[in-house]
Structures are given as structure tokens and as C-alpha cells.
Chains A and B, each alone.
Chain A
């Protein structure tokens, strides 16, 4: 008989091994799935995981998709560590894109050197403003931030939709719901020629480093971690809960907003109805796979990006439905959460105890 038993101390080996086990679990299930669908698993895996990154262009695409995942993942990870459950990075990303895009449209074809810095700033501020709503509601009215951030995702998408259908629609755009294309000064320069990857990835990696320093070396980072691990201890020590919530949501709003503006000023080049295939949601998985650690999040974002690319390749190369991307994402998170159980628990074999199988006791006679 097997029994789950709490470990005396959390296993540090398991906390590293868990994401790897999750990846293996995902691959094995994928293997079975391809088999059942009548596809050759080896070919499918090649198409899914190897072919997309076999060219320079492919690696560029990998880094391109890593950028928003990494940016959102970093912000979310810091928040999750502090028990702030912001699941609306997608909405903050959208608002960042709207704000940054708005600035780009205002500059038009001006070629101003201020255009790009102002766009990035606007993107960051846009994301922060959107994240300020749940922060205010939570600190003022104790509203659940999970619900508020999620609902604000749909509102932000409808705002974007209204803008590109209405006031910001390109007059020469054949009635497509999209804005004018951004000028050269409003488009981010390419980092590696022959690819579409922009300077955004450099910003993202730089921020990963900053986030690492913040969480490991600063008192503010420590306070947020205490708030996440033991809220009562944070209250006892006098760490303000409200300040933690604000910091967590502002950081995530900023990074997600930056991700949004990097998308529209990079590969997309304009505002349109859909600007993200769910990067903000996928970043939740990225944050967990990365163990809520900034450096781990970098690897998590690369893996998730590969799943996006592989999913696209599998759609085109093997005629699989687009749900394949979400399926692999889901498998990964599912196995990760399952494997995480063994960080604090372990399986133990227990022998069933039966009264009649035990040796008869020595006759106990107590002092009378």
C-alpha cells in the first residue's frame, strides 16, 4: 500500500526536477496522442520541436515570441511570489499596445527621435494604468484581483476593437479593422538581420536580470516574498499589505505593457484587432515553469515560445488543428502541478497493520 506523506523539509532536488519531469510527461502524452491520431510520432516531434529552430530565421522567431512571454512572465512571477494573483497580463499587454500605438499614430510620419522612447514609455504607463484598477479595488474594497484582472482582459480587447473599427481605423485600409502602419521611427529596429527579432528581447533579458536583483537583493523584494509565504508574518513585521499589492501589480502592468508595445512596434507594425495569441495567459504557465524565479522564467519563456512555433508548424505540416498549441501548454502545466506535489510530499510504502499479525506482547504487569 502506498501513502502520501509530508516531507520534513521541502525537497530541493524535486523543485528543480519537477519542470523536467513535467516536460517528459508532456512528451510521453504527446507521443501517445500522435500515435492515436495515426501520425508518425517521431516525425511529429521533429516537426514540432526541432524543425522550427533549425534555421537562423527560426531562431529569430523563437526569440521574437519569447519576448512578450518573458516580459509578462517576469511581472507575473514577482506578483505570484507575493500572493497577488494577477491573471490579466493579457489585458495589461493590450492596454500597453493601445497606449504605445496611440503615441505612434500621433507621431505619424514625423521621423522624430523621441517617437520610440515615448512609445515605450506610453506602453509601460498604459499597462500600469490598467493594472492600477485591480490594485485600487483590491486595496480599497478588498475585491478579488483574480476576477477583476481577468474581466479587464475582455474590456481591453473590446476597447482595442472599438478603436480599430472606429476612430483609429486606417482611411486607406480597405475597411479592414486596423490602424495605419507605423512609420520607420515608430518601428523597433531589427537585432539580427534576416530575422524579425527586435531589440525587445534585449530589454526583456535585461529586465530578467533586474527582476533577479530586485527579488534577491532588495528589502522590497523580501517584503513581497514574506507577504506571499506568510501573510500574518508580514502583518506582524509591519510590512504594508497594500504597498505589496500595488508594487506587484505595477511591476506586472509595466512589463506586460512593454510587451504589448514591443509587439505592435515590432513584428505587427500597426494596431489591429488581434495583437496577441494569448501571450499574457501563457505567461502564467511560464511563471510557474520558471519556479517564479526570474532566471527560471527565461527558460520557461523559451520553452513556451517553442510550443507556439511547433504548434504552428504542426498545423501547417501535418494538418493538425490549432488547438494543438493549447493542448501542449495545458499538458505541461498539468504535469508540472502534479510533479510539484512531490516537492513537499513523498510516496511511502506502508505495511498494513493487523492486530492478529503482531507478535503477542510480553505480559505487562504494572506496579500495583
Chain B
């Protein structure tokens, strides 16, 4: 970890002038970067800054339009991932590609470029996983594993090939805070053995804790290099976004009547590998924001569809503005004053080939856009222009099609639309996921303003910092169960992290504080 350890070594990988253009954007523009053996190098940038594109070129998934890649002092054209792996480059993707119906060793066997005898593979897996503190059972079926455990499988799969360079793409977005610490131990150990690590992230604290050097990308270009340990979060953020971060303020406020009451909501997942909801209790009152934290894949999606009405439940389990509404469809719930922002923007929150004005009609029909079944274009237009203006949506005008907007701008439009429908109750999933820091601030402030006007808001997010900043109360979803809620000031990241691994069960019938959870926390404490 000490820089002197590799400062005099020759670079293992040197990228020079890498440029990659897509039809609508230049993803990478003249990017140069070098990494030495044993170095943990952060690639830092906002969503859409070009981090993933750059990594895909190193791993041979796509080819650069210009620029050179030098590997161990030799120019290389990396044509395919298989070639990258032969060269000694491994990559752990943000989204895993594991077959859920197969066991760990079967999944790994499928991914190996050269066949390894079955009898030898399983012991090898156990050996490697123990050596690096990544316990996995080679005979376990993948679908029974938590997201954190699946990531271990992916890492072990890479390590079996003894990589010289390991690329980690946003690895901590699926981990509890404790599991993050375990992962860091593993990565430091790998680096000490001489493996180079490219660590992609936008989380500043992590980078300062883990990485030796950093290359910061902004809008596809290198906006700076730094030694993270010597920088402050503000300094790194300035390089990342080119400006200052604004704080959002949550003034204490007395919550009023109950707007949403969920009582003992249980719903089996239609997907055999989905998460079933188990006896969920929660309440959201007028004028407060309830934040629900959790590692992805713990029932967030299922909870969202149950609350939106895309999946129905017994009427009494969900009360909306005092009315039993579990059996109401989305249209009926919207009529009661519910609006929601889904996690998936393009294709669910907005119709990709339709204009923003038409997308305003998607949920805004009740706002005078439709009278006696006939559409009133002028009302739609005025509404969408208003949203574009108030939420500073960068677009070519109200006639731009939704798919032409960047993820962040589309999110601003959708949040704006749902906000301006004057809801009584609003549900938001991943409000700032994939959104740049500036826009994220705007969206958070809009939610807080809405709360101050007396709207009840439920936010489901994987960003803990965000939830601590904007929630009046915090709860955690783990394995389809929701924890009791606490005030952010009365808890800590550690406690929430423990809850995220499922350890909050005080109900007698919920002994299933799940075997997974024990494993996860045991590792975290190890």
C-alpha cells in the first residue's frame, strides 16, 4: 500500500489517447492512464463520465476508435474478452452473469477458457476463496446466494485465472457497509501480491480509504489525477463535477396524519428467484420522508410493484389515505393521489420513442389534458414545458423524444412530472441513481420541498448517504422484510449496515434472520 512499493516499477498497463465515439456522444476523448504492479488505481467520475466504456475497452468488449493500449511494454489490440483474460486481465462486472440454477463450480467451469477437470476445480475454488477471505461453497446453488455472495463467486472466478490486472466496476453498490470492509481487505491483499487493480467508483470515501492513485473523468475526458489519500472529498468532488456541492437542508417538522399504512403485507414473488415480501409493516405520514435502505435484490422491486398497484394484494394490507387499497390497480391508486417514480426510467417511467409532451400525458391525464376522452395538446404542452423549466431538464424542447435525453435529465423530467401532479403520497425508487451530482441535489431538494408542503414521501434507495440526508425516518429492507424505523440522528451507518444483512428480527415467528445474514456479518466482523 505504501507507494514506494511500486513507484519504481515499470507500468503494467499504459493507455494513451484513447477515444471512443458513439452516435450521440463521445464516451472517451483522449484518455490516458497508467497503472503499475501492485497499484490500486481509482477511476473516478460521475455516471456517464465514460468510466465503464474505458474499462470495456481494456477488457476487449469494445474497441477504441483511436489511441493505444500498451501491456507490459508491448502494444496490444485487445479484440475480445478471451484475449484479455489470456493476457491476465480479469473483470468483475457491476451486473453479474451467473446462471441461477447452477452451482458455484458449474458457473465457474462454464466461464473458464480452458477446461479444468471437475475433480480439481472444486478444491481449487475452496483453496482460492479461503486464501483471499472470500468464503464460498463450490457446491451451493447460485439462486440461494445473496448478492454479496454472488459477487464473491465472480471475484473467485477471476482469481482462478491468476490475473495481473483486476478491474472492479462499482463493486460496493451491492454490499452492506460491513461487507465493503471485507472486500477492501481482499483487494489490499491482492495488491500486496503484485496484482494491479482498477477500481471504478463514484464514492469518494471508499476511494480515499482504498486507492493509491486516482484518475478522474468528466464528460469523457481526464479532468485530473490525484493521490486520494492527500485529497479531501470536496477536492475530489470538484474534479469530478467541476463545481461545488450544495447541501440540502432538512428542517425538523411535525408529521401529520397517516397517508400510507402497510400492515403485515406478505406477497409471494411470481419469479422463482425473486424475493417474497414477508409481513411488512410501515407507515408514512403527511409531511415526512421515510427512507428504505437495503442491498439491491432484497425485495425493493417487489415492494415497489405492490405499493404502485402493478401487483395486487388483499385490500386490507395497504391503506392509502385511510382507504383499504391493496386490491386497487395503479389507476385507482393514482386517483387517490398517489404518484410514483420507478427505478427503471426508460420503458417504465417514460415511453422511449414518445415526446416529452406525450410522456406528460402518460400519467397526467387527470390534470385537464384529457376531457371526455379527447386529448388537449395545449394543456399537455404547457404542463411539460413547465416541468422542463422548473426542473432544468436539458433537452431540445418539449418535442424531444424521451430516449434522446440522458438518464439524469430524464429522471429530472419524471420526478418533475410526478411532483407537479400535486400528489398526496409519493413513492420514489432510486431517486438519483445514474444522475449526476448537481441534478441529484436538485431532485433531493424537490423531494424535501414537497415534504414541507405536507406530502408523504417514501424513498427506496441503495445510497445510504442520500437516505441519511433526506429522511425523517429510516428503515431497512432485507430478504423481503422491513425493519422498524428509526430517526437518522438516533442510529449509525453501522447499525443500518447490520440491519441490511437481515439482523433486526425481534419477532418470534421470524427466526429466519436467515443463514445468509449470519454468514455475511460473520465475514464482516472477521
- A-B interaction: yes
Give residues in A with beta carbon < 8 Å to B.
5-10, 217-220, 222, 226, 229-230, 232-233, 235-240, 353-356, 358, 360-362, 364, 366-368
Knowing A354-B77, A364-B14, A366-B11, the reply to whether A233 touches B351 (Cβ < 8 A) is yes
27 A-B pairs with CB atoms under 8 Å apart are: A6-B23, A9-B403, A9-B404, A10-B353, A217-B374, A222-B358, A230-B347, A233-B348, A233-B351, A235-B348, A237-B362, A238-B331, A239-B331, A353-B64, A355-B68, A355-B69, A356-B75, A358-B75, A360-B68, A361-B14, A361-B17, A362-B16, A364-B14, A364-B32, A364-B34, A366-B33, A366-B34
With both beta carbons as reference points, the residue of chain B lying nearest to A221 in the complex is identified as B375
With the chains together, A225 CA to B218 CA distance in Å?
38
6 more A-B residue pairs beyond the given contacts A8-B24, A219-B373, with a C-beta to C-beta distance below 8 A = A218-B373, A226-B354, A229-B351, A353-B65, A355-B75, A367-B225
With the chains together, A222 CA to B360 CA distance in Å?
12
Whether a CB of chain A sits under 8 angstroms from the CB of B61 is no
Q: How far is the CB of A360 from chain B (nearest CB, A)?
A: 8
Knowing A235-B330, A361-B70, the reply to whether A219 touches B370 (Cβ < 8 A) is yes
Whether a CB of chain A sits under 8 angstroms from the CB of B361 is yes
Q: How far is the CB of B437 from chain A (nearest CB, A)?
A: 25
- Looking at A5, A217, A222, A239, the one whose CB has the most chain B CB atoms below 10 A away is A222
Q: How far is the CB of A8 from chain B (nearest CB, A)?
A: 4
Chain A residues positioned under 8 Å from B441 (CB to CB): none
Once the chains bind, are A240 and B75 in contact (CB under 8 Å)? no
With the chains together, A155 CA to B329 CA distance in Å?
37
Chain B residues positioned under 8 Å from A238 (CB to CB): 309, 329-334, 363
Chain B residues positioned under 8 Å from A226 (CB to CB): 351, 354, 362
Chain A residues positioned under 8 Å from B363 (CB to CB): 236-238
With both beta carbons as reference points, the residue of chain A lying nearest to B16 in the complex is identified as A361
Once the chains bind, are B375 and A219 in contact (CB under 8 Å)? yes
Chain A residues positioned under 8 Å from B63 (CB to CB): 353
Q: How far is the CB of A78 from chain B (nearest CB, A)?
A: 16
Chain A residues positioned under 8 Å from B354 (CB to CB): 226, 229
Which residues of chain B from 18 to 76 have any CB-CB distance to chain A below 8 Å in the complex?
Answer: 23-24, 32-34, 63-70, 75-76
Q: How far is the CB of B73 from chain A (nearest CB, A)?
A: 12
Q: How far is the CB of A238 from chain B (nearest CB, A)?
A: 3
Chain B residues positioned under 8 Å from A235 (CB to CB): 310, 330, 348
With the chains together, A354 CA to B370 CA distance in Å?
58
Once the chains bind, are A368 and B77 in contact (CB under 8 Å)? no
Q: Can you list, as one digit per residue, whether each of B378-407 has a CB less than 8 Å from chain A (1) or not (0)?
A: 000000000000000000000001011000
Q: How far is the CB of A201 from chain B (nearest CB, A)?
A: 28
Chain B residues positioned under 8 Å from A6 (CB to CB): 23
With the chains together, A206 CA to B361 CA distance in Å?
28
Once the chains bind, are B23 and A5 in contact (CB under 8 Å)? yes
With the chains together, A367 CA to B213 CA distance in Å?
9
Knowing A226-B351, A233-B347, the reply to whether A368 touches B68 (Cβ < 8 A) is no
With the chains together, A222 CA to B365 CA distance in Å?
11
Knowing A8-B24, A9-B403, A219-B375, the reply to whether A236 touches B16 (Cβ < 8 A) is no
Once the chains bind, are A230 and B11 in contact (CB under 8 Å)? no
With the chains together, A218 CA to B404 CA distance in Å?
26
Once the chains bind, are B375 and A222 in contact (CB under 8 Å)? yes
With the chains together, A236 CA to B17 CA distance in Å?
44
Q: Can you list, as one digit per residue, whether each of B341-369 has a CB less than 8 Å from chain A (1) or not (0)?
A: 01010011111111000100111010000
Chain A residues positioned under 8 Å from B370 (CB to CB): 219
Q: Which 10 A-B pairs have the closest CB atoms?
A: A238-B331, A238-B330, A361-B16, A8-B24, A355-B77, A232-B348, A8-B23, A219-B370, A230-B351, A368-B7
- Looking at B310, B348, B363, the one whose CB has the most chain A CB atoms below 10 A away is B348
Q: How far is the CB of B229 from chain A (nearest CB, A)?
A: 14
Chain B residues positioned under 8 Å from A240 (CB to CB): 329, 331
With both beta carbons as reference points, the residue of chain B lying nearest to A351 in the complex is identified as B65
Knowing A239-B331, A355-B68, the reply to whether A232 touches B344 (Cβ < 8 A) is yes
With both beta carbons as reference points, the residue of chain A lying nearest to B4 in the complex is identified as A368
Chain B residues positioned under 8 Å from A360 (CB to CB): 68
> Which of B34, B332, B349 meets A236, CB within 8 Å?
B349
Q: How far is the CB of A246 from chain B (nearest CB, A)?
A: 16
Whether a CB of chain A sits under 8 angstroms from the CB of B409 is no
Chain B residues positioned under 8 Å from A10 (CB to CB): 353
Chain B residues positioned under 8 Å from A367 (CB to CB): 225
- Looking at A222, A230, A233, the one whose CB has the most chain B CB atoms below 10 A away is A233
Whether a CB of chain A sits under 8 angstroms from the CB of B521 is no
Chain A residues positioned under 8 Å from B201 (CB to CB): none
With the chains together, A236 CA to B305 CA distance in Å?
9
Chain A residues positioned under 8 Å from B65 (CB to CB): 353
